[in-house]
Amino acid sequence: MKKLSAVKKGLAFVVVIAVICLGFTAFTRVDKATPAVLAAESEYQTDSSDAPVVYMTTEITPEALVKIYERLGFEAEGNVAVKLSTGEPPNSNYLRPELIKDLVQSVDGTIVESNTAYGGRRSTTAAHWQVIKDHGFLDIAEADILDEDGSLEIPVNAENPRITENYVGAHLTNYDTLISLAHFKGHAMAGYGGAIKNMSIGIASSEGKCWIHTGGKSKTSWAGGVQDEFLEAMGDATSSVVDLFDGKVVYINVMNRLSVDCDCSGNPSEPDMHDIGILASYDPVALDQACIDLIYEQKDGDGASLVRRIEGRNGLHTLEHAEDIGLGSRSYRLVNIDADAQAVSMSYSGGTLTVEGLTGEAALVHASYTDGKMTGIEILNAETQKVAAKAGDKFFLWESLSKLNPLCEPITVGEEPEVGNKTLIAYFSRTGENYSVGYIDIGNTARIAGYISENVDADVFEILAEEPYSDVYSETVARADEEKAADARPAFIGGVENMDQYDTVFVGYPIWHGTMPMILKTFLETYDLSGKTVIPFSTNEGSGWGSSLRDLQSLFPDSDILTGFSTRGQNAKNASADVQRWLAGLGL
Q: How would you classify the pairing of strands 80-83 and 53-57?
A: unpaired
pLDDT of 511 > 60? The answer is yes
How many percent of the chain have pLDDT more than 90? 66
229 vs 214: CA distance, rounded Å: 7
> Of 91-100, 104-113, 404-413, which gets the smallest average pLDDT?
404-413
pLDDT confidence of residue 484: 95
Q: Give me the mean pLDDT over the 122-140 stretch.
A: 97
Residue 264 has pLDDT above 60, yes or no: yes
**pLDDT classification of 48: cutoffs 50, 70, 90:** confident
Flag whether pLDDT at 406 surpasses 90.
no
Q: How confident is the model at residue 247 (pLDDT cuts 50, 70, 90)?
A: confident
- 130-134, 148-152, 266-270, 274-278: range with lowest mean pLDDT: 266-270
558 contacts 532 by C-beta, under 8 angstroms: no
- In the prediction, which pLDDT does 385 show? 65
Closest CA to 118 of 240, 183, 204: 204
Are 431 and 445 a contacting pair, CB within 8 Å? no
DSSP label of 38: P
In the predicted model, what is the mean pLDDT of the chain? Answer: 86
Q: Which residues, including other chains, have CB under 8 Å from residue 342's CB and lie 6 or more apart? A: 12, 357, 359, 407
pLDDT at position 436 is: 76
pLDDT at 131 over 70: yes
Is the predicted pLDDT of residue 307 greater than 50, yes or no?
yes
Answer yes or no: are the C-beta atoms of 57 and 337 closer than 8 Å: yes
Instruction: Give the torsion sign (CA, 389, 391, 393, 397).
Output: positive
User: Please, which pLDDT band fits residue 355 given cuts at 50, 70 and 90?
Assistant: confident
Q: Give the helix ranges, DSSP H, for 443-575.
A: 444-455, 473-485, 518-526, 548-555
In this structure, what DSSP letter does residue 581 have?
H
Instruction: Identify the band that residue 11 occupies on the pLDDT scale cut at 50, 70 and 90.
Output: very low
Q: What is the pLDDT of residues 423-451, one digit of tens each?
A: 999 999 999 998 877 899 999 999 999 99
Does 418 score more than 70 pLDDT? no
Q: Measuring CA to CA, how many Å separate 209 from each of 42, 83, 212, 257?
A: 32, 15, 5, 25
Question: Residue 348's pLDDT is what?
Answer: 75
| pLDDT (0 to 100) of residue 464 | 95
| pLDDT for 6 | 28
pLDDT at 382: 53
- On the question of pLDDT at 383 being above 60, the answer is no
Structure-model confidence comparison of residues 144 and 39, the more confident one: 144
Which pLDDT band holds residue 582 (cuts at 50, 70, 90)? very high
For residues 83 and 137, what is the distance between their CA atoms, to the nearest angstrom?
A: 12
The 10 Å CB-count burial string (b at 16+, else e) for 479-509 is bbeebbeeeeebebeebbeebebbebbbbbb
CA–CA separation, 421 and 504 (whole Å):
10
